[in-house]
Structure 1
Amino acid sequence: MIATVHFADVGTRKTLSALRIRPDGRVDGLRFGTTAFAADIGGAFIPKLTVSRLAFVGFWDDDSALETFQNTHPLAEILADGWQVRLEPIRATGTWPGLPDIVASDGPDTQSPAAVLTLGRLRNSQALRFRRFSMIAERHAKSATGLIWATAIARPPLVATFSLWESAADLREYAYAAGGHTQVLEADRAQPFHHHSAFVRFRPTKSIGHLTGPNPLAEDWVNGSR
């Protein structure tokens, strides 16, 4: 299995149109795929949706499935002028459609770049409580050592975040530091926010394209040309 996360600044009208395209079950080799809005993180109670920026998350059987999608699917055409990162899963907790029951490898060197995707299908009854605790984690993340770029991804009831880190060591320091992220985990264990959720750590393998404004990664970042 491989994963990709795509963002494209295509304008509000095209983003809304693309959200109606549902690739799940219609693309050979696509285990899970969803379009969504991108949204700011940083601690505001109501996150600011970037309605002109389309997000897409895909879990694929292999590179061949991804290449077929990119060469033939209308959604891929909309995303083509944006940015994408290809990802190798290293470790996962929780459950999510398309995610193997067991994801584990030797893991990256602690000084290698790392990426994290959090996914949740939010319980309506927990929406306000979830947001209050999410604000805490976001504020800690914004000031965390080694954070390169982070964004929220939203298509309720789907709520997700994607973040890129200078190293796996920096990610680990943020994830286990007292107060921020750990406080959210404790709150979720006490009373789950989601019907189901997953936390997946990846090794970035390829960065392609660009976005309007500050870019998360230069092309071929993972090859040392950042």
Structure 2
Amino acid sequence: MIATIDVADIGVRSTMRSLRRRPGPGDVPGLRWLDVAPAVPLAGKRPPGLRRAVLLAMWDDEDAAATFTDTHPLARRFADGGFHAVLRPLRAFGSWPGLPEDVPRNRVTHHEGPVMVATLGRLRLSQTLRFLRASRPAERAAIDADGFLWGTAAARPPFVATVSVWSSDDAAAAYAYGDAQAGHPQAIARQRKKDFHQYSAFIRYAIVSTTGAVSATSPVPDVGRTSRPAGPTSR
């Protein structure tokens, strides 16, 4: 399985169009799952804006992902003024449509270089306040954590997600589990006590390749970047 994540300033009209017309697995060869949501700054208190959007997808293989990226109208909306990452799962916890059961579940991974982490949830709307009270401290802790490079949240309730980039898998693991009293472990404890979500997944990825930038800055160091030039960016 291969995943892709796109983050781009596509404008309000394109975001609305993308939210209304999201292809499913039966519409695109090799697609296992796809969703689009407006981006939200980590630990933000305001509702999602509609200028920046996040596209997350899971694929059978790199060829299917590349064909979609090169040819599909939805992907082309994200091509200019955005960031695109091709990812390989290192570990996962939980379940999600399109996520294979054979992805390793152990906490410890051995990978050199930066990693990307995605948290995905289908929120129980009755648990929204509990979720926000737990997730905001966890997101603030991420921003301040050693090895944190970049991140964003995304929300189109009941779908909620975060995407973050870390300097190493050790840094990502230390944030997630290192201090039981810190924001993220406390959020995990609250979820285990009473689940926020109908279903959810936490996935750590190796970065296969990246192109483009967000607000003129690449979220990922040059390791693994392809040579295709970035499109124009906006702040």
Give 5+ residue unaligned stretches, structure 1: none
Quote the Cα distance in structure 1 between the aligned partners of 2:147 and 2:126. 34
- Within 5 A, what are the aligned runs for 1:1-226? 1-24=1-24, 25-42=26-43, 44=44, 46-81=45-80, 82-104=82-104, 107-109=109-111, 111-176=112-177, 177-179=179-181, 180-217=183-220, 220-222=222-224
Cα shift readout 1:93-122 (whole Å, capped 9, x = no counterpart): 11100000120299333x521111000000
1:18/1:69 CA distance change after superposition, 3 Å = same
CA distance in 1, matches of 2:84, 2:70: 15
Secondary structure of the corresponding residue to residue 176 of structure 2: helix
Q: Point out 4+ residue stretches in structure 1 off by more than 6 angstroms.
A: none
Preserved CA contact (<8 Å) 2:42 2:152: yes
Q: What is the number of residues matched between the two proteins?
A: 221
* Offset, 1:141: 0.8
- Deviation at 1:84? 0.6
Identity of matched residues, %: 45
Q: Give the TM-score normalised by structure 1.
A: 0.91
8 Å contact from structure 1 (residues 92, 102) kept in 2: no
1:125-145 Cα deviation digits (max 9, x unpaired): 100011001111011111000
Structure 2 segments unaligned to the other structure (5+ residues) = 228-235
Q: Return the letter of the residue paired with 2:197.
A: H
Residues 38-75 of structure 1: per-residue CA shift (max 9 Å, x gap): 11013x4x345242112100100001111221232110
For residue 214 of structure 1, report the CA deviation from its aligned partner: 3.9
User: What letter corresponds to residue 54 of structure 2 in structure 1?
Assistant: A
TM-score, structure 2 normalization: 0.88
User: Does the CA contact (< 8 Å) of 2:109 and 2:169 recur in 1?
Assistant: no
AA paired with 1:173?
A
